[in-house]
């Protein structure tokens, strides 16, 4: 198994990212390019592990993970992991901060460099998504205009196999079980959710709960739950 990068290889990708970052943030440091290059290998390993488990043809081909710089969801996920990898190696480094800003400028995605996403996640139409510092289980799906955030300093704790439809929000101290899906525009505030549940509605009006099989999860991932 390997990662295919289109239209060029890892070294060219590092140079490409550096040029993009310099365009948006022209006051670059003398070591910015070297910092990006040094983190590239581990970031791509993490991306490969993630993409090959996504159940959609453009993310893998013949068993090999595939990254296209022209596929905005894929490129957004790559920048998330690259910025986070730099942060892991040099906490709160300006390059990690600038890559977060680059991702926000290109894709309208707000996912800070110090957010620890799970090993396998899928950002679907990521524009308008705000992904905060929750505790994430593996196999996460976040669609457009979704929010995961804190209230009074408390973030959600999310189990494995969590799927957010478009326009959802999960705010505050929420304990979410495994294999949980939120329907479109569902809003939850300080609410615990049991495993194997589909939730719809709004916390201020009415919430509805239905049993959820593993079919939705299997439609998104080659999962291991």
Q: What share of the chain is helix, strand, coil (3-state, %, to 5)?
A: 35, 25, 40
In a domain, 33, yes or no: yes
Tokens of 96: 């990690």
Cross-strand partners of 147: 130, 169
Report the relative pairing of strands 197-201 and 187-189 from DSSP bridges. unpaired
Q: Are residues 77 and 41 in the same domain?
A: yes
CA neighbours closer than 13 Å in the CB half-sphere of residue 57: 0
Is 89's pLDDT higher than 60? yes
In a domain, 225, yes or no: no
pLDDT tens-digit readout, 180-209? 999 999 999 999 999 999 999 999 999 999
In a domain, 115, yes or no: no
What whole-number distance in Å separates Cα of residue 35 and Cα of residue 65?
24
Tokens of 142: 């976040």
Q: What is the pLDDT of residue 63?
A: 85
Q: Do residues 79 and 98 make contact, with C-beta atoms less than 8 angstroms apart?
A: no
- The enclosing domain of 208 has a CATH number of 2.160.10.10
pLDDT tens-digit readout, 113-131? 999 999 999 999 999 999 9
What is the pLDDT averaged over residues 68-79?
98
Q: Are residues 101 and 132 in the same domain?
A: no
Q: Are residues 129 and 211 in the same domain?
A: yes
What is the SS3 assignment for 141? strand
* Cis preceding-peptide flag for 7 (omega within 30 of 0): yes
What is the SS3 assignment for 224? coil
Q: Are residues 34 and 104 in the same domain?
A: yes
pLDDT tens-digit readout, 23-52? 999 987 889 999 999 999 999 999 999 999
């Amino acid at each position: 198994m390997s990662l295919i990068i289109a239209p060029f290889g890892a070294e060219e990708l590092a140079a490409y990212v550096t040029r993009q970052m310099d365009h948006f943030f022209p006051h670059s440091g003398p070591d910015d390019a070297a910092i990006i290059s040094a983190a590239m290998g581990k970031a791509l390993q993490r991306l490969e592990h993630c993409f090959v488990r996504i159940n959609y043809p453009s993310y893998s081909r013949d068993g090999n993970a595939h990254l296209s710089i022209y596929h905005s969801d894929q490129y957004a996920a790559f920048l998330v992991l690259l910025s986070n990898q730099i942060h892991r190696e040099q906490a709160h480094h300006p390059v990690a901060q600038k890559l977060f800003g680059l991702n926000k400028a290109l894709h309208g995605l707000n996912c800070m460099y110090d957010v620890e996403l799970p090993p396998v996640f899928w950002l679907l139409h990521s524009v308008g998504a705000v992904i905060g510092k929750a505790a994430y289980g593996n196999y996460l799906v976040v669609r457009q205009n979704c929010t995961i955030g804190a209230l009074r300093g408390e973030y959600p704790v999310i189990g494995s196999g969590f799927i957010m439809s478009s326009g959802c929000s999960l705010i505050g101290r929420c304990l979410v079980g495994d294999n949980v899906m939120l329907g479109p525009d569902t809003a939850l505030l300080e609410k615990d959710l049991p495993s194997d549940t589909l939730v719809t509605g709004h916390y201020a009006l009415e919430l509805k709960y239905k049993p959820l099989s593993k079919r939705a999860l299997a439609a998104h991932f080659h999962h291991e739950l």
